[in-house]
Amino acid sequence: MRLKIRNRPDFWAGVLFVCAGLAFGLGAQAYPIGRAGHMGAGYFPALLGLCLALLGLLLGWQACRAAAAPASIRRPDWRVAGIVLGSVCLFAIALPALGILPSVFVLVFVGSMAGHDFDWRVASLVGLGMMAFVWLVFIQGLGLVFPAGLLG
């Protein structure tokens, strides 16, 4: 019998849950398991991992049954996701190097590129506005401390 995946989102969600379940279940083996009356650090996580993996299997099996409603996964927009997540990562890199205010500008400017109506003038203005806001509210108002960065 050939396996036919009818409901793709369900099937891959099942795969995801099985992997996560195995990761937690097997990872828990590194800690003392103990027994029910005297549980070790690994007991509950192992139990959760097992449940998760079983549910994942159930989901994967259901997705392949003849009765499953056929469905496909909507293609992710890699450009949007990449830019949004990338800008946050860039912020994490820029913060210790450049200090808070330039990093905010970088985050806003790069992040804005994810929009379909990107305009560098608007993005710069929003960036400057957010810099002012962060300085006023977070630094002066709330007294949060950020790394000074190489530029001070």
Partner 1 sequence: MEWLDHLSLGLSVALSLQNLGYCFLGCLLGTLIGVLPGIGPVPTIAMLLPITYVLPPEAGLIMLAGIYYGAQYGGSTTAILVALPGETSSVVSVLDGYQMARAGRAGAALAIAALGSFFAGCVATVLLAAFAPPLAQVAFKFGPAEYFSLMVLGLLAAVVMASGSLVKAVAMTILGLALGMIGTDVNSGMPRFDLGFLKLQDGLDFAVVAMGIFGLAEIMANLEQRERRVQVTDKVGPLYPSRREFRESWPASVRGTFLGSILGILPGGGAVLSSFASYTLEKKMARDPGRFGRGHPAGLAGPESANNAAAQTSFIPLLTLGIPGNAVTALMLGAMIIHDVQPGPRVMSAHPDVFWGLVVSMWVGNLMLVVLNLPLIGVWVRLLKLPYRVLFPAILVFCSIGVYSLDNSLFDVWMLAFFGAAGYLWTRLGCESAPLLLGLVLGQMMEENFRRALLLSRGDFTTFLTRPVSLSLLIVAAGLLLLIAVPVIRRKRDEAFVEE
Footprint of partner 1 on 69-88 (CB under 8 A) = 73-74, 76-77, 80-81, 84-85, 87-88
Beta-bridge mates of residue 34: 39
Contact track, partner 1, 32-71, x by CB under 8 A = x--xxxxxxxxxxx--xx-xx--xx-xx--x---------
Site for partner 1 in 125-144 (CB under 8 A): 126-127, 130, 134, 138, 142-144
The label of the residue with tokens 């139990």 reads: 47
Using a 10 angstrom Cβ sphere, with 0-12 exposed, 13-18 middle and 19 or more buried, the burial of residue 75 is exposed
Nearer to partner 1, 2 or 78 (CB): 78
> How many Å apart are CA 120 and CA 137, to the nearest integer?
25
Residue 33, C-beta contacts closer than 8 angstroms, at least 6 positions apart: 39, 40, 42, 43, 46
Nearer to partner 1, 2 or 39 (CB): 39
Total of chain residues touching partner 1, rule CB under 8 A: 72
Among 9, 26, 140, 148, binds partner 1 (CB under 8 A): 9
92 interacts with partner 1 by CB under 8 A = yes
CA angle 12, 72, 112 (to 5 degrees): 85
